[in-house]
Amino acid sequence: MRKPSIDFWVNKQEHLKKATVMASNIIKLIGVLALCTLISMLFRQMGAHETNIVLVYLLGILLYSYMTGGYQYSLVASLFGVLCYNFFFTVPYYTLQAYRPDYPITFLIMFLVGAFTSMLTIRIKRETLLAEEREARIKALYQIGRRLLGVKSSANLTEVSAEELAAQFSADVMVQFYDTAGNNRNRFVKGKDVFIDDKEKIVIYEVYQSGNPCGRGTKLFFDARAYYLPIINQNGIVGIIGIALPQPQVLSSVQMEFLDTISTQIAVVLEREMLYQKQEETQIQIQRERLRTDMLRTISHDLRTPLTGIMGSASTAFDNFDSVSDDIKKSFLKNIYDDASWLSDLVENVLNMTRFDEGKIKLNIGQEAAEEIVAEAVGHVRRHADGHKLTTIIPSEIILLEADGVLITQVLVNLLDNAINYTPDGSEITVSIGRVEEQVVFEVSDDGPGISKEDLPHMFERLYTRHSKAYGSRRGFGLGLSLCKSIIEAHGGTIAIKNIEPLGTSVTISIPAKEDKDNAAPYFSC
């Protein structure tokens, strides 16, 4: 047996609805005319003039027209009002005959007045209803638009859009967004997900390809479960809305127009989000370019001193090679080596910071012994810390952590270099290791003059140069602590800096620990 099409069910439903309305209007007409007749009979007994009786029927016709709202019903009411007046209130009574020659004119005028006034009443009523509907739609669009404009992300936009549409149409709703490549970006369904059916997916694909509405209530895929409308902005089709009303209901033309307006609002919000993202990307790019420019300017300025020292030592040693003693030559070579090592460290910092900015740096995470990291860092800086006392405090138990050992060592080297450079000769610099719950804690502290209140809040900012006095010849250009912060945060840890009372500075690093007693690392004492 062939299944009836959706047009059959829709037409059947419409016929039943029309029959019900017609029966209701007939009952209303009988009731109004009966009431008018009873009132008119009462007036006749009171001796009222026939004109008053005509006005009673005209009032009844107006009331009936207001109750029904159809022009054809107003004409029928006017006709039957005239017949009732003729039958009950003209001589001879209870017949449709009229002996007076002026009655036909009275009947005609009564019919025309009733028909005209009832049609005018219906027109005013319809215009009032249309104005109320228009006001309700405008109010709904305003509320929806206001809520949509407050959405900050496309994921939230799908949810908010679906919720608002479901409330407006009392239906199951799907809102789906696409990226520029046509891939699903975000999807949200309010109500039953009838949109995952294979047939519905075909309709959705057709809407995306053609850019035209399809589905129930349209000529194409009229037997679909839902009506689908594309969301279009300047970039093309960016999404699709699906509305699944309870069968066999279909969207009216007014509802489709309302939905099209909402889809336009959604498209505007999506376009605004895309423009905002592009603006953010542009601002980030501008900021990166500015930082690169500042970095190059700062590097070129701050590297002149060590480069001048290298060139001066090399030139002096070369020009006086035969006349100076071996000790002086070794001194020149040591100065050249120290300055070159410092320049190498600075270049490494710059390269690593660039890799972090571009997201190209990869952490080689492994199980590391905290003691080994500290020993390597202290050994690296000890050769140019002749005037400082380096002390390590290492617990007896083995402390392991999951980290990139090379990068953590570089962090400690940077911290130690800062401590050496910003403390006078004779200062003590201490590196300690500890464990607090599930965190491995490194602390680099000194007994120097500390950090000024002006500098302290900005210590981890890139390219920030301290106003504090640098005791060494190497004044950094503001990448060391910024790089340290990036490395530690990439490990899921934290870094903090503070002054110690009465004198000194402390930098504390916390990194997640690794509990593994089977792989004990050797103990180092530096």
The domain segmentation of the chain, as residue ranges, is 7-141, 154-251, 284-361, 362-512
pLDDT, tens digit (0-9, with 9 covering 90-100), for 282-323: 887 887 777 667 666 666 655 676 777 788 878 887 777 777
Q: Hey, what CATH topology would domain 154-251 get?
A: Beta-Lactamase (3.30.450)
Report the distance separating Cα 113 and Cα 75, nearest Å.
11
Global pTM exceeds 0.75: no
Report the distance separating Cα 217 and Cα 287, nearest Å.
52
Mean pLDDT, the chain, rounded, equals 80
Helix, strand, coil shares of the chain, percent, nearest 5, are 55, 15, 30
Least confident of 19-23, 362-366, 492-496: 19-23
Q: How many CB atoms lie within 10 A of CB 360?
A: 8
Mean pLDDT of the region 429-439: 91
SS3 289: helix
The CATH number for 284-361, chosen from 1.10.3720.10, 3.40.50.970, 3.30.9.10, 1.10.287.130, is 1.10.287.130
Residue-level pLDDT at 295: 62
Least confident of 55-69, 180-194, 235-249, 308-322: 308-322
Return the structure tokens found at 445.
Answer: 């502290």
Please, is 110 exposed, middle or buried when counting C-beta atoms within 10 Å of its C-beta (0-12, 13-18, 19+)?
Answer: buried
* Residue 188 in this model has a pLDDT that exceeds 80: yes
Max avg pLDDT among 14-28, 294-308, 402-416: 402-416
Residue-level pLDDT at 391: 92
CB 284 within 8 Å of CB 357: no
pLDDT, tens digit (0-9, with 9 covering 90-100), for 118-174: 888 888 888 888 788 778 778 877 888 787 777 777 778 888 888 888 888 888 999
Q: What angle do CA 357, 360, 363 make, to 5 degrees?
A: 105
Superfamily of structural domain 362-512: Histidine kinase-like ATPase, C-terminal domain (3.30.565.10)
Report the distance separating Cα 89 and Cα 485, nearest Å.
102
- What is the pLDDT confidence band of residue 269, given thresholds at 50, 70 and 90? confident
